[in-house]
């Protein structure tokens, strides 16, 4: 019984991880769908640049992304100080910063999944909806969005799973603060740095694997339901 129940440290980092990843998904989803739509449907000068910018975190070393965030969004950063002054929103050394780092790192995965599903939507259906009296915005919410739901779900799961594993950008941007930014991977890293922490690290390792499996199985079940709906 004692071996199976979670320690206070495990509970704290697990809860923080789910909280941070959840907010990373919630925050990046609307933006991600918007950017994916723009990339899938519009043609404009500078599209290659936007595409590249979105994908950048995928190929940059996470430390570089984290440091860039620190410079831009930190307390004295260009955008960070502005946000702090105008709406009192601070990303420096708190869980919001951890969520931002996770969101940025996972953003390319989200956009890619959603973009592919938007490109697969039959635009004839959207044209049909227009002739039935629906304006562009209504067409998006009543036809396009329901049709891309499986893709959005795939993107959300990828984004969530990637956020759970986020390490490099987070530790660079918002450091390793217990209860604020010490998520599962950071807690695991901390344990490997102290003598005698191997057993506890192994437990966190197993928790991480279980969590990832749970997310994947869950998404598989929801995806099947959605497909079932389209097949009648």
Determine which residue in the list 29, 147, 161, 223 makes contact with another protein, applying CB under 8 A. Answer: 147
Query: Which residues are CB-neighbours of 145 under 8 A, at least 6 positions away?
Result: 152
CA nearest 22: which of 231, 215, 210?
215
The two three-digit tokens of residue 217, written as one number: 């199985």
Please give the torsion angle defined by the CA atoms of residues 132, 126, 41 and 103, in that order, rounded to the nearest 10 degrees: 110
Task: Write down the least CB distance from residue 138 to another protein, Å.
Answer: 8
Note whether 129 binds another protein by CB under 8 A. Answer: yes
Interface with another protein, residue 154, by CB under 8 A = no
Task: Give the binding range for another protein (CB under 8 A) out of 12-20, 30-38, 50-58, 120-128.
Answer: 120-128
Tell me which residues in 173-232 interact with another protein (CB under 8 A). 229-232
Q: How far is the CB of 144 from another protein (least distance, A)?
A: 10
- Candidates 15-23, 63-71, 123-131, 190-198; binding stretch for another protein (CB under 8 A): 123-131
DSSP 10-66: HHHHHHHHHHHHHHHHHHHHHHHHHHHHHHHH---TTHHHHHHHHHHHHHS-HHHHH
Closer Cβ to another protein, 45 or 135, answer by number: 135
Report the interface residues with another protein, using CB under 8 A.
Answer: 122, 124-125, 127-135, 138, 142-143, 146-147, 229-232
């Amino acid at each position: 019984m004692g071996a199976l129940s979670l320690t206070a440290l495990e509970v704290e980092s697990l809860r923080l991880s789910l909280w941070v990843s959840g907010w990373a998904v919630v925050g990046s989803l609307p933006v991600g769908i918007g950017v994916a739509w723009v990339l899938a449907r519009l043609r404009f000068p500078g599209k290659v640049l936007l595409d590249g910018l979105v994908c950048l975190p995928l190929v940059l070393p996470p430390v570089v992304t984290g440091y860039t965030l620190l410079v831009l969004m930190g307390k004295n950063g260009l955008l960070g100080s502005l946000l702090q002054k105008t709406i009192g929103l601070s990303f420096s050394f708190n869980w919001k910063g951890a969520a931002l780092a996770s969101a940025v790192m996972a953003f390319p995965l989200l956009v890619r999944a959603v973009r592919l599903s938007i490109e697969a939507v039959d635009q004839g259906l959207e044209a049909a909806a227009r002739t039935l009296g629906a304006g562009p915005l209504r067409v998006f919410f009543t036809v396009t969005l329901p049709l891309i739901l499986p893709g959005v779900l795939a993107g959300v799961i990828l984004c969530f799973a990637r956020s759970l594993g986020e390490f490099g950008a987070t530790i660079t941007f918002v450091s390793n603060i217990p209860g604020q930014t010490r998520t599962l991977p950071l807690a695991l890293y901390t344990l490997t740095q102290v003598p005698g922490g191997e057993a506890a690290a192994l437990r966190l390792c197993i928790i991480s694997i279980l969590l990832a499996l749970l997310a994947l199985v869950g998404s598989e079940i929801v995806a099947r339901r959605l497909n079932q709906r389209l097949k009648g």
